[in-house]
Structure 1
Amino acid sequence: MKVIEISKKEEAINLYLDVTTLVISTDREKSQKKLKELQFEFTKQDVISPSVEMTE
């Protein structure tokens, strides 16, 4: 179960990095504010919640 949990988190992180790159390359001035919003949303929703749900 731990191996599956880690691989799922890594997939989520890879997706997040792709989104971050897109945001930064699209609009450099707004990227920092957007990046902080994305990091908060990502940590709360995409990593913690799904990984807990997947292990059940």
Structure 2
Amino acid sequence: MLSAQAGTEELRDVAEMVGIELVVIDEATTIPALRDHLRWGAAYHRLAAGP
């Protein structure tokens, strides 16, 4: 879903309701921080899935 009408908070709410990860890329985002965020998210999902 991509919409210019919905703000970040609304998109966060939708992502939480449907159980998906939301990655916000804005003017404060740096490539190293985004890369780390995605790696930590992937690690979390692997661990949460269990053996």
Question: Where on the TM-score scale, by shorter chain, does this alignment land: which range?
Answer: 0.3 to 0.5
Higher relative contact order (CA 8 A, sep 6+): 1
Question: Higher helix proportion, which one?
Answer: 1
